[in-house]
Every structure is written in structure tokens, then in C-alpha cells.
Amino acid sequence: MTDQYLSGLVLTGRRVVVVGGGGVAQRRLPRLLESGAVIDLISPSITPTIEGLLANPSLTWVERGYTSGDLENAWYVVVATDNVAVNDEVSREAEERRIFCVRSDDRSRATAWTPASGQHDNVTIGVLGGGDHRRSAAVRDAILEGLRTGELGARDAAGRRPGVYLVGGGPGDPDLITVRGRRLLAEADVVVADRLAPQQLLDELSPDVELFDAAKLPRGRAAQQEEINRILVERGLEGKVVVRLKGGDPYVFGRGFEEALACAEAGVPWTVVPGITSSISVPAVAGIPVTHRGVTHEFTVVSGHLPPSHPESLVNWDALAQLSGTLVLLMAVENLPAITERLIAAGRPANTPAAAIADGTLPSQHRVTSTLAGIAEAMRAEAVGAPAIVVIGNVVDVGESARSTP
């Protein structure tokens, strides 16, 4: 076997070409984007989650198949199609141009291998296990856990228990998933992941893990809940370790208990692994406490996916307007003008402080502050879109006072 020379590539501002728009590309793109690379993704089609990543200006989708010359000025190439002839053609051009090339289908014909990688603080771990991907992932996880706890040692993976695990991935930052959630991802045979789940964690999965894209893009393609339930039950009955990876917490507007009921009815063992909900963590990271002594004695978390006038809305907006505490709105970007208008009409003061936080806990996090009457327009003016958390209440001013303290 050929020995590999493990090195860290500095890709900031450099062109990287990814050929293929399926699951492998979906796993690799988040870390490539984190590295600062300028990426051209060449593929006739892409997954819904990759479609969501196109909001990043460093990623460009070239909507066609690969053609000769596509690697010009590239520094690094990832080949991730299911067509061997195309993969061979890309590899040949990469070899001719002396560009390191990773292949998802045949590592023996590649000039670079992707290690099992992870990060803790400013430490990046990369492990090559000679082709044994589960071993690479296990060693990486043991090192990362040792860094987190202060003890370095091998992780015991002998206790794998088949079943469905409803795992909350936290608000977005991959470091904010629970230790148990991360362990389960390392042990998984199947991962069913939402778009709002921490996408960088998917790059840490073993290549033989079956990844099901359950992304629900706003006004885009969606995996129906019935299909998600079917996959969970079917793979669970096959005796596999199935991780249902969600953003935030599985039971906070995540339909987690619907999936638990489907498993229970089918006789599939299931376990919930709670996650950090974005309704509390995103305001906190943005400097806004949802409660504060002498300011508020309650906070209310509300789904804004339906406007107040919708016949299927279960929210008593008029009652909410009478509360003096903190109001946290999830999934409310599209309906925010109607929501704020209803709250004001029902008695909530128009000058109540308000803030919106987009991409909470991620490097692209952006915060906008205004009043209840002005927050929707402020978001529009600064192009703040989904996913975003809206906070209404005097705690916003509390956060502002802390931000202005020297």
C-alpha cells in the first residue's frame, strides 16, 4: 500500500472544482466553504441541501456535465459522480495539469485522499486509516473527545444499539451538538438530515453511511413527512443504527414526536437525544437574554409559519399581544409584516424593542435591531432572510446595553 503524506491545504481565495452534485459533494462542500475556497460545482443536478448552500457567494453551480478544460486554474479537485468514465476523464485532466484530485469511487486512482476530519477550538484533526473509514472516524472522534474532556483515549464502539435516534443538532455551529449526538453520528449506518442540521457534521460521516436528504427548502423541494417516516421505520426494522439529525431540538417545531410515534407503531426502538433549541441559543449568542431579572418573568416561543389570519393557525395572537414578556418567533420571516401588524393592533406597543438574528451561531450570523413596528422593514432593508429568529421585548434593549459597555 502506498503511504500518504498528510498535509493541510490553504485554499482561501483559491479555485476548487467539485464534479458531481449528489451526497458526496453535499458532505464535502461545507468544509470546503469554511476553508475560504472559491468553488465551482459542475453537475446537471444537485441535492436540495446543496441548493440551500448556493446562497454562499463562494459557491457557483455550473448546471451541466463536466467538459474538458473545466479544471483550468484549479488548485484542488473533488470528483463525486456515479459515472466511472466521467471520473476517469476528470482524473486524467487533473493529472495532466498537476492538480491534486480526490475520487469518491476509487481512492486507488486518486492523487489525494480525504481524511476523517474534525475541529476543536483552533485544532484540526485529520486521520487516514488506510481505507478503513470507520476506524479513521473512531480515532478522530476519540482524539476530539479527549481534547474536549482533557483525556485522550480510544472510544469504545462496542455498545452500538440498533434503532432510531432522534438527534437535535443544535442551532447550527457543529460544536453545539451534544457529545452523545456526535457519538451516534460516528456509529450510524443511516443518517436522515434536515437542511438546518449542522451540515459540517455530514463531512465527518463514513463514506459507507447512507445519507438521506430530508431538506425542506422554503418554497423549494421537500421530502414529505410520510417518506421520512418510511425511511426511519424501514431502516430501523433492518436492524441498523439510524440517526435522524435535526436542527435545534427534535421536539421544538421539528416534528420529532411524529417520527417517534411512527417508530412506536411499527415496533422500532427509538430514542430522543435533545438538542440546543435555536429559540434560546441564537438570541443568547447574539447577546440577547430571553429573560432578565426585573425585565421579564416569561418568554413565549411561537411558530410564525402561518399568518395570523390563516384559518389553520393555532396561535392566539391577541392574547400574546397582552403579555409584557419576551416573544420569540421561529419560521416567521415571510409572515412577519402581518404578525407585527396584528400584535400592534391587539395592544403590544409599536415601540417595543425587537431584533432579528439570521444564521445564528454560524460565521455568517447577522443581527438587526429595530422596534416592533419597524423590524420587518429593517430586515428587508438589510436583506435578512430565513433562517432567522425574531425576538420582541425589552430584553433586546438589555442586550444592547451590554454591547455598548466598554
Q: Where are the domains of the chain?
A: 15-109, 159-276, 279-403
Using a pLDDT cut of 90, give the percent of the chain over it.
70
pTM, rounded to two decimals = 0.75
Question: Sheet of 366-371: strands edge to edge?
Answer: 299-303, 326-330, 388-392, 353-358, 366-371
Amino acid identity for residue 313 in this structure: S
Q: Which helix or strand (DSSP H or E) is residue 79 part of?
A: strand 76-79
C-alpha cell belonging to residue 92: 486524467
- What pLDDT is stored for residue 155 in this prediction? 37
Residue 74 reports pLDDT greater than 80: yes
Give the N- to C-terminal CA distance of the chain in Å, as an integer. Answer: 59
- What pLDDT is stored for residue 209 in this prediction? 92
Mean pLDDT of 57-63: 97
Amino acid identity for residue 106 in this structure: D
Q: Which residues make Cβ contacts (< 8 Å) with residue 273, sequence separation at least 6?
A: 165, 166, 167, 168, 178, 180, 181, 184, 250
Q: Please report where in the chains the cell 491534486 appears, as a residue.
A: 100
- What pLDDT is stored for residue 400 in this prediction? 79
Which residues share a beta bridge with 119? 124
- Taking a C-beta distance cutoff of 8 angstroms, is the pair 15, 75 a contact? yes
**Three-state SS for 122?**
coil
Q: Which of 97-101, 217-221, 360-364 has the lowest mean pLDDT?
A: 217-221
pLDDT-derived band at 296 (thresholds 50, 70, 90) equals very high
Cα separation, 327 vs 320, whole angstroms: 8
pLDDT in tens, 167-204: 999 999 999 999 889 889 988 999 999 888 998 899 88
- Residues tagged active-site: 194, 216
Cα separation, 335 vs 406, whole angstroms: 37
- What pLDDT is stored for residue 64 in this prediction? 96
Q: Which of 10-14, 107-111, 311-315 has the lowest mean pLDDT?
A: 107-111
Number of other residues whose CB lies within 10 A of the CB of residue 98: 7
- What pLDDT is stored for residue 123 in this prediction? 78
Q: Which of 2-6, 134-138, 302-306 has the lowest mean pLDDT?
A: 2-6
- What pLDDT is stored for residue 41 in this prediction? 98
C-alpha cell belonging to residue 126: 485529520
Residue 279 reports pLDDT greater than 90: yes
Amino acid identity for residue 170 in this structure: G
Q: Please report where in the chains the cell 460544536 appears, as a residue.
A: 175
Which of 127, 133, 214 shows the shortest CA–CA distance to 169?
214
Residue 10 reports pLDDT greater than 90: yes
Cα torsion 211, 214, 220, 225: sign: positive
**Three-state SS for 394?**
coil
- What pLDDT is stored for residue 405 in this prediction? 42
C-alpha cell belonging to residue 66: 463536466
- What pLDDT is stored for residue 354 in this prediction? 97
Mean pLDDT of 254-276: 96
Query: How would you classify the pairing of strands 100-103 and 353-358?
Result: unpaired
DSSP state of 214: -
- Decide yes or no: CATH 3.40.228.10 for domain 159-276: no
Look up the CATH number of domain 279-403: 3.30.950.10
How many CA atoms lie within 13 Å of 236's alpha carbon, on the beta-carbon side?
25
Mean pLDDT of 319-333: 95
Average pLDDT in the chain: 90
The Cα-based distances of 378 to 67, 188, 368, 375, 404 in angstroms read 44, 43, 7, 5, 21
Q: Which residues make Cβ contacts (< 8 Å) with residue 387, sequence separation at least 6?
A: 196, 247, 278, 333, 358, 359, 360
C-alpha cell belonging to residue 325: 414578556
Which of 245, 265, 260, 252 shows the shortest CA–CA distance to 187?
245
How many CA atoms lie within 13 Å of 355's alpha carbon, on the beta-carbon side?
28
**Longest Cα pair distance anywhere in the chain, in angstroms?**
73
- What pLDDT is stored for residue 149 in this prediction? 53
Residue 207 reports pLDDT greater than 50: yes
Q: Please report where in the chains the cell 444564521 appears, as a residue.
A: 359
Cα torsion 66, 67, 73, 78: sign: positive
- What pLDDT is stored for residue 153 in this prediction? 37
Mean pLDDT of 233-261: 95
- What pLDDT is stored for residue 283 in this prediction? 96
pLDDT-derived band at 221 (thresholds 50, 70, 90) equals low
- What pLDDT is stored for residue 159 in this prediction? 57
DSSP string, 263-312: HHHHT--EEEE----HHHHHHHHTT--S-BTTTBS-EEEEE-SS-TT-TT
What topology is assigned to 15-109 in CATH? Rossmann fold (3.40.50)
Residue 132 reports pLDDT greater than 90: no
Which of 124, 120, 125, 271 shows the shortest CA–CA distance to 184?
271
- What pLDDT is stored for residue 126 in this prediction? 82
- What pLDDT is stored for residue 150 in this prediction? 47
Tell me the helix, strand and coil percentages in the chain, rounded to 5: 35, 20, 45
pLDDT in tens, 134-157: 888 888 888 887 766 545 433 344
Residue 31 reports pLDDT greater than 80: yes
- What pLDDT is stored for residue 399 in this prediction? 79
- What pLDDT is stored for residue 148 in this prediction? 64
- Taking a C-beta distance cutoff of 8 angstroms, is the pair 177, 198 a contact? yes
